[in-house]
């Protein structure tokens, strides 16, 4: 018997994205593709990530801000004991967060989603607020989102 693939509702997608911690950021520079796993947080609308302002990721981002972010879950024993999974695919555009309120919001959201006490990232917040143009905080303005589960 083949497993039945189900389209996830908005509330199921929100619950799933809030229960996970790592996703795969996929980018293109117009010539080739590049994907990297990153920790993230989700506020029900946008996805927040941190990216250092150097290296291969930034080379791709500087050429094209359109991205795809994938979060998935596969149980232990997949294919042997179980044929179940969940996946959510988010299309969007990357935006560096450089305004103080946006950075504070991203920090507090990330602390909450990572299970950290509020204030755990205060040192990082303070450093970032002193040099806004070099903020490591980014958000994916999600333009399309969909999820499936089995």
Query: Quick one: three-class SS letters along 49-103?
Result: EECCCCHHHHHHHHHCCEEEEEEEECCCCECCCECCCEEEEEEEEEEECCCHHHH
**Contact in structure between 69 and 40 (CB atoms under 8 Å):** yes
Task: Identify the pLDDT of residue 2.
Answer: 65
Whole-prediction pTM: 0.89
Residue 150 covered by a domain? no
Span of 6-20, 73-87, 120-134 with lowest mean pLDDT: 73-87
Task: Identify the pLDDT of residue 74.
Answer: 87
Range of the domain at 121: 6-145
Whichever domain contains 88, its CATH number is 2.30.110.10
Task: Identify the pLDDT of residue 50.
Answer: 93
The Cα 137–Cα 125 span in angstroms is 10
The Cα 20–Cα 80 span in angstroms is 23
Residue 60 covered by a domain? yes
Q: Which tens digits make up the pLDDT trace of 13-58?
A: 999 999 999 999 999 999 999 999 999 999 999 999 999 989 999 9
For tokens 């920090």, the residue is 107
Residue 22 covered by a domain? yes
Residue 74 covered by a domain? yes
Residue 140 covered by a domain? yes
Task: Identify the pLDDT of residue 36.
Answer: 97
Residue 1 covered by a domain? no
Instruction: Give the total number of structural domains in the chain.
Output: 1
């Amino acid at each position: 018997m083949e497993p039945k693939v189900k389209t996830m509702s908005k509330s199921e997608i929100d619950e799933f994205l809030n229960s996970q911690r790592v996703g795969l950021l996929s980018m293109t520079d117009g010539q080739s593709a590049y994907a990297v796993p990153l920790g993230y947080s989700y506020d029900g609308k946008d996805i927040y990530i941190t990216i250092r302002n150097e290296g291969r990721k930034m080379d791709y981002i500087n050429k094209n801000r359109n991205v795809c972010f994938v979060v998935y879950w596969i149980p232990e024993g997949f294919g042997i004991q179980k044929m179940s999974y969940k996946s959510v695919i988010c299309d969007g555009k990357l935006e560096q967060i450089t305004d103080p309120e946006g950075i504070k919001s991203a920090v507090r959201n990330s602390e909450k989603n990572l299970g950290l006490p509020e204030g755990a990232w205060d040192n990082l917040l303070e450093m970032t607020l002193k040099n806004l143009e070099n903020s490591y905080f980014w958000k994916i303005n999600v333009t399309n989102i969909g999820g499936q589960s089995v």
